[in-house]
Structure 1
Amino acid sequence: MNEPLFNSLLLPTIALGLPLGASMDAPRPVSAESQSSRKAVCAEVSIAINGRSAAVHIRTQSAPSTGETRIELPLRAPRQSVFFGFDAALRRSVLDRAIPLESARARSIYTQEVGSGNAAAVAASEPSDSMIAQVQSPGRQDPTKVIFHFVSPVDPVQGLVLTPNSRSLRNCGVFVSASKYQVLPTVAVGGRRLEFKSGPSGWQARLKGDDLPLAGDISVTGGTLARQAWISWSDIDDAGQMVNPTFFVADNVLSGDLGAKPRPTVTAVTDGSGRRIAYRVVTAAGGRWSLVGPAPASNRVRVALSDGSSQTYTLDYDAFPNFGPGIFWARPLVDDLMRSPARRAEGLDLALRYRMLGPHMSYLLLQKLGQYRRAGLQPPPDVERDAERENEVPSREPPKSPPVPKRPSS
């Protein structure tokens, strides 16, 4: 990240209350059940609740088609959600991750590849709470499979609610995992409460589809956090370093009954050495809010308030990837950069780093390595790796063991 972008991180804080990435060249909104669309079946909704954020993964499939298949996100994304991925199966049954691009360019490449008889997919979010995907895969005889990914804040008062777009949504299993809770939240599907059970990777609850309609909302409410502050990360690089480390201070920074007194605001956040840290505010119901920003080198942050008081938090490290805090931090930056023609390249790079959509952006997925090279795009790692394997191109390096996360020294 270059110096001009870093300076923009130190601007006054803003509330994060943003719509999903709107696209000026988005595919025409078409319901998944309209006559011009293939009827999509929601196979599973997976919700990974990690403190005050949730990563939602919705897997769908539609009937085989020799033409273009349009698939709509089967549930509405809650307010302040951000899309951070779209997968489709263009290479047999392999699900590949699409790349974010400016919508006009994504649409142009998609149209060109489809016109040449090649497989391709494009997906763009609506201005509010949905996403439309268009998939073209000539000669395919099996169902079209896609996965939508987005992150949402879990409001400490209102919780998280996912509403189906159709009353006849069938075969939709629900899987929920929860971490960072001392008292687990309540999860219900259409008013039916799901019971959490302890599993190898934490607390889990499941509802099988069993060819039944998804009757009502999926809701996550209540729960008490086991800790208030932590450092999250989205991936581990080849050297074992955390990618996109981000601190998160949870919702009760300003808890308590203040009566008629005005609520104090945050005036500064510093690390263990007193150095100022950039931060942003994530708002919640009831006047509550949380703080998010790039992780400090130390594992402590001090929050100074306008009434002269302060609070110090010790930051624990997440054991598993958590995309939410980093995306909540980076999304306003991507929006600002994409509004400036001179800095759009920076905005696209930052969106790619976090896998998210920004303003006037869409996801694009192509089938073969040659298609990406022809379009001047860096292909997803799996496409490049599989192309090398098919051509029997030897790897330059011996296989490596999966890296282990390295925590920065305090």
Structure 2
Amino acid sequence: MKKVLILFIVGVLLSTYSFSYADGDLDLVGEGVILMDMDTGEVLYEKNSNSQFYPASTTKIMTAILALEKGNMDDIVTIDQEVVNLTSGSHIALEPGEQMSLEHLMQALLVESANDAALAIAKYVSGSIEEFSKLMNQKAKEVGALNTNFVNPNGLPNEDHKTTPYDLAMMARYAMKNEKFRSIVGNYTYTIPVTNKKSETRYLKSSNRLLYSNEKIDVDGKTTPIKYDGVNGVKTGYTVAAQQCLVTSFEKDGHKLIAVVLKSTGKNVYSDTHKLLNYGIENFEKVKISFANRFVDNFNVNKGVIPFVAGVTKTDSYFIVRKDQKSKVEEKFTANKTIDAPISKGQVLGKVEYLLDGKVIAETDIVSTMDIEMIPSPNIFKSILSKWYILILIALVFGRIVALNKRKRRQRRRTSLYRI
């Protein structure tokens, strides 16, 4: 028998429901846009989020992921002639034969957005640009970026080098789980010391002005600095074909967001990002709806030594919910009312589903609070044998009986002798 209870609640744990809204609501210049919750992957706002665009240097998010997972930051990389020959656009003037640690190349990749550093990292990891591109595409699919195709590690123009706002958000969400990646993209300056080929220190500065710039932009008619408090990464990008691109990570006051803007123009890429982050902060909140071990119901136990067991929720439940939709979330319990013994503590008895507008947005298990054994077999002998203390008692009683019988026999012998 299934039990369904509908309750008004304010949130749940793992969401798959999308609160996306019509194009143009936020008056964005960027042609491809997404706002995603960092923890759950829930889409809070989107505009052409599954359409393909040129990603420019936001490509380097994936390059960094592979370097971190397959490289050693202390390794020394020797630059070859091919890296120099293929370099155009932003660079740190690497020279053939120059030696530099992977750590410094990673800083150049993500802070300065150096295209030569990207090529050097690709050859260090895979031996060739082509093989590295294969790894990039393989890893993209692993992290849920299914509509992406990379042909180089730096994002320089190529008609086959494309991705989507959604895919970039998934890559950034994955990358930001890596502590080293977070530490690099959260800084906007870095110093590379002299090398065997360069006698001068290289001073790097990020083009991600959300981290530091007091230059003013217009956001919905209000003048505000580009710097956005709470932004802790991730990556800018620009080519003529791609236009202005920006992937942003934000964390503050319980909000953890990823924003992607592709094919915007000039400072509008920052205005677009401000609008997205403002929208997420003002319209959504993460609320705890339920606690682990919350009582759900008593379940009948068939053939158990105890006739019922309490079922409780397995996990705490959170949800990123639009503020005006709190009361629309429903809760549904699904379980068999009678459970067969034996039952172990923590055994799954059913599940709790959370729904919004009829769609399941999350679920958690209902679990048993205790062990319950099956009622012993009516066979008395088997039941007695299953109890070790009864066996000992029987042995003691039997021994006592044997001793008494011996004593009685001795007494009878004495009596017989006396009579004779």
User: What TM-score, normalized to structure 2?
Assistant: 0.21
Of Structure 1 and Structure 2, which has the larger fraction of its residues in strand? 1
Structure whose alpha-carbon radius of gyration is higher: 2
Of Structure 1 and Structure 2, which has the larger fraction of its residues in helix? 2
